[in-house]
Amino acid sequence: MPQEMTSFFLAFTVFAVASRIASLVVSLRHEAALKRAGAVEYGALNSNLLALCHVLFYAAAIWEGWARGPELDAVATTGIVLYLVALLFLCYVVHLLGRLWTVKLIIATDHTLVTHPLFRTIRHPNYFLNIVPELVGLCLALHSFKTLAIGLPIYLVPLTVRIVQEEKAMRARFG
């Protein structure tokens, strides 16, 4: 395998992991401020399970991709583009939610309902425009097809639980 190909995929993998770590840092900062102000966390066990699934999904995709050997073809290019678009949506959702955005389900004491058209058009844009496309894009970019086929359905279980918990918490708060 050519050195430039390996270097490219190493750079993509490092970028993907660093992007997730950066988003986690933002989330932890927001979480700490929200909790200091009296915010309440819901579904903590499921949040931990979701975080574990995310880490394991990344680890499996990266391991499978590197074991298979990186190949820059139409599938990988599509995956990289999908991953980058998902990352842009993450940045946009974080921007729209501001201090309320965390990877956990936390409701602030002064929580206001975000009524931006994106949230009215797409229910849970963070999940459907960021997380799911991000995971699919990562697997396509690395040709981690087994991780995609096995890992995504497993990941969707705690994600579905999170959506149900979020809907319930938001209905309780906003009616």
Tell me what the mean pLDDT of segment 55-78 comes to: 94
Rounded mean pLDDT of the chain?
95
Tell me what the mean pLDDT of segment 112-129 comes to: 93
Query: Domains of the chain: which residue ranges?
Result: 3-174
What is the DSSP secondary structure assignment for residue 1, as one 8-state letter?
Answer: -
Closest CA to 44 of 105, 126, 101: 105
Cα separation values, 6 from 47, 70, 84, 116, 168, Å: 34, 7, 19, 42, 46
Topology given in CATH for the domain delimited by 3-174? Four Helix Bundle (Hemerythrin (Met), subunit A) (1.20.120)
Question: pTM of this prediction?
Answer: 0.94
